[in-house]
Structure 1
């Protein structure tokens, strides 16, 4: 079931970080600061690789992080106007 108006995973990452800076967190998970800052600010997506890194850092599952990204993406895509699509039948 899709979530209504889900937050970008970056907002949740920011909460998980607490007082830890993006620079410190980036060093611990092995990415550059700019990459992590872009995710935290909502300018970039959580990739499968980033999901595994976040899971290891926060003691969660990669499915949590990637699932949040999918929910966010589906919500954004649902707001785009599309042409009528005819159903394909065999």
Structure 2
């Protein structure tokens, strides 16, 4: 079995980037997709533009709409958020806490 190795310095893709690749393959435009998902066109555009995260509610809609489940969308968002947090949050004064 081959395990994928990702460069730790490379930011994981935002779920909006995946949507931007998937939507054209559906043959539908973004307005149609937003309507089918039950979200506003602007909300979809904000996710695709990586200005908004994919919430659990939107992940459920994407998972149902694209048939791949909410979890994949939430994992993408969590990876993206964690990568940024590890670089943006100052944790230098926090000690490593070990079990006694």
Uncovered stretches (5+) of structure 2, i.e. residues with no partner:
1-5
Select the residue among 47, 56, 70 that pairs with 1:48. Answer: 56
**Structure 1, unaligned runs of 5 or more:** none
Three-state SS of the structure 2 residue aligned to 1:44 is coil
Q: TM-score, normalised by structure 1?
A: 0.88
Tell me the matched-pair count: 89
Q: Please report how far the alpha carbon of residue 88 of structure 1 lies from its aligned counterpart in structure 2 after TM superposition.
A: 4.6
Q: Please tell me whether the aligned partners of residues 16 and 58 of structure 1 are also in contact (alpha carbons under 8 angstroms).
A: no
Q: Which has the larger radius of gyration?
A: 2
> Larger relative contact order (C-alpha < 8 A, sep ≥ 6)?
1
Q: What is the RMSD of the two structures over their aligned residues, measured on CA atoms?
A: 1.8
Partner-residue secondary structure (3-state), 1:79:
helix
Post-superposition, which runs of at least 4 consecutive aligned residues in structure 1 deviate over 4 A? none
Distance, in Å, in 1 between the alignment partners of 2:96 and 2:20 is 42
* Cα-to-partner distance string for 1:14-56 (whole Å, 9 max, x where unaligned): 1111142211100001011001110011000000000000001
Residue 39 (structure 1) aligned to one of 47, 62, 66: 47
1:81 is displaced (CA, Å) by 4.8
